Amino acid sequence: MIELRESGAFFLIFVFLTSEKIIQPQKPTISFLCKTFFYYMSAASSLKPSVLLLADGTIHHGHAFGKTGTTAGEICFNTGMTGYQEVFTDPSYFGQVLIMNSVHIGNYGVFDKDVESGSVKIRGLIARNLESQFSRKMAKGSLDDYLKANEIVCIEDVDTRALVAHVRTKGAMNCIISSENTDIEFLKKELLKTPSMDGLELASSVSTTREYELGDHNSEVRIAVLDYGIKRHILQCMVDRGAFLKVFPAKTSMEEIRSFRPNGYFLSNGPGDPAPMDYAITAVKEILKEKKPLFGICLGHQLLALANNIPTFKMHLGHRGLNHPVKNLITGKCEITTQNHGFGVDPAAVRNALNMEVTHVNLNDDSIEGIRLKNHPAFSVQYHPESTPGPHDSRYLFDDFIAMIRNSLS
**Residue 95 burial (CB < 10 Å; 0-12/13-18/19+)?**
buried
Residue 8: phi and psi, rounded to 5, are -65, -40
Domains, the chain, in order of start with CATH, read 49-191 (3.50.30.20), 203-409 (3.40.50.880)
Q: Report DSSP state, residue 92.
A: G
Which residues does the annotation mark as catalytic? 298, 384, 386
The mean pLDDT value of the chain amounts to 91
List per-residue pLDDT tens for the chain, 410 residues long: 344 334 444 444 444 444 444 444 444 556 545 544 544 444 444 689 999 999 999 999 999 999 999 999 999 999 988 999 999 999 999 999 999 999 999 999 999 999 999 999 999 999 999 999 999 999 999 999 999 999 999 999 999 999 999 999 999 999 999 999 999 999 999 999 999 999 999 999 999 999 999 999 999 999 999 999 999 999 999 999 999 999 999 999 999 999 999 999 999 999 999 999 999 999 999 999 999 999 999 999 999 999 999 999 999 999 999 999 999 999 999 999 999 999 999 999 999 999 999 999 999 999 999 999 999 999 999 999 999 888 899 999 999 999 999 999 98
Residue 42: phi and psi, rounded to 5, are -65, -40
Q: Report DSSP state, residue 15.
A: H
CA distance readout (Å), 344 to 85, 247, 319: 25, 25, 10
Whole-structure pTM value: 0.88
Collapse the DSSP code of 389 into the 3-class scheme (helix H, G, I; strand E, B; otherwise coil) and give the result.
coil
- What gap in Å lies between CA 84 and CA 143, rounded to an integer? 10
- Sequence letter at residue 108: Y
Q: Given this model, what pLDDT does residue 4 score?
A: 39
